[in-house]
Amino acid sequence: MLCTQMRKKLGERRSGLMEVSNVEECDVIMGFCPVVSRAGTDIEVALKKIQDLSDTKPVALVVLHHTFDPEFMVPDSSVSVNRENTLTVDCLFHEDKGLLRCPRNQEAVDEVRKWIKLPVKPPKSNESAAPAELTDEQQADEEFM
C-alpha cells in the first residue's frame, strides 16, 4: 500500500515511472524502510539489502515512521546514511491509513521528484471546492496530500 501511494504521489502515470522486475532494468532504486526497532539499525539493514542488489544504482530511501500524529517530529534519517548517490527522506505513516497527509510527507515527495528529475507539482489551492463524491482510491489519495 505505501509503495503504491508513493508511486501515485510521484506521478507514475504522467512521468513515465514504472516498476521493473529486476535491478538491471531500473534507473533508480526506491527503497522503503519501516522503523520497527531503532531507526539507525533498521536503516543499516535496509542499506545492506540495497547494497547487495547494487552498489552503483542511485537510491531514494524512504524511511517510514509509524504514528497517528501528522505533526510528529522525527530525527533526520539522512545522518545515518553514508552511501553515495542516495537520497534519504522521512515519511509518517499509520498501518491503517498508509502515508499521512502532512507537510513532512509532501516535502519528502517533492524531494524525491526533484532528485529523480521529475517536475515538482505546485501546491493545491485552498480555494478549490470540495469534490461531491470521491472513489476509495481518490479518498486514499486525498488522505495523503
Residue-range domain boundaries for the chain: 2-9+26-119
Identify the DSSP state of 70. T
CA dist list (Å): 23 to 9, 26, 79, 112: 22, 5, 26, 19
Q: Which three cell numbers stand for residue 99?
A: 502515508
Is 70:64 a contact under the CB 8 Å cutoff?
A: no
| pTM, full prediction | 0.78
pLDDT tens for each residue of 41-92: 999 999 999 999 999 999 999 999 999 999 999 999 999 999 999 999 999 9
